[in-house]
Amino acid sequence: MIYTNKFINLISFILTIIVCSVIYFCFLKKESPIEKVANLVPEINIIKEDEKDEPKKENKEAENVQKQPDLGNWYIEIPAINLTAPIADGTDSDTLNKYVGHFMDTPLEMGNIGLAGHNRGYEINYFQNLKKLQKEDQIIYTHENFKKTYIIDKIEIIENTNWNFLKESEENKITLITCIENEPKYRRCIQAVESEN
């Protein structure tokens, strides 16, 4: 009898807790300060992630802007290798680290224009795909108001002491020179003549 009363009291107590809990959670529940803070944490993390993403996007855009050269009014275009690059006077390392270099002993417009560029191992390697060029590919050269299209007619491997391709010419040409990988004694030489069209 005593145990039956205790059992009934225990069941009543458990049922009372269950009923109170249901009433509390369904009708009376208000968030505690701790729960409020816990619910804010994901929102704060989302804001932080968004804030992190924005500078990354800005940095990527800034990198893209830096990678696209300021062509100014002196540049070369080679559609076959998707090249557009600014040109500056000189073939010293400072110039070639930023531009395609112009051999200063060659003309700027009429005659045989000589240009040089890095093809590997530097931050800027404008001539890296010169080896993919073929005869009949176009080279477009712009210097201020002068603009001409040239057609490649010579692709040669020359010794690094051979400057014959940069000699003066009455014919309008453009000559591009770059190194050859693992062949320090040789250079790749691309020469193109003015298009008749």
CA distance 168 to 175: 11
Average pLDDT over residues 92-110: 94
Q: Are residues 148 and 120 in the same domain?
A: yes
Q: What CATH code is carried by the domain that includes residue 121?
A: 2.40.260.10
User: 108-120: b or e for each residue (b if 16 or more CB lie within 10 Å)?
Assistant: eeebbbbbbbbbe
Provide the token pair at 166.
């940069």
Q: 134: helix, coil or strand?
A: coil
Q: What pLDDT, in 10s, does the model give residues 131-186? A: 999 999 999 999 999 999 999 999 999 999 999 999 999 999 999 999 998 888 99
Q: Could you give the C-alpha distances from 151 to 3, 107, 141, 143, 187, in angstroms and in order? A: 108, 18, 11, 18, 20
Please say which residue of 42, 67, 92 terminates a domain.
Answer: 67
Q: Are residues 14 and 57 in the same domain?
A: yes
Q: Are residues 23 and 107 in the same domain?
A: no
Contacts of 185 (CB under 8 A, 6+ apart): 159, 160
Q: What pLDDT, in 10s, does the model give residues 10-29? A: 777 787 778 766 666 666 55
Determine if the pTM surpasses 0.75. no
More confident residue, 111 or 20: 111
CA distance 73 to 142: 7
Number of domains in the chain: 2
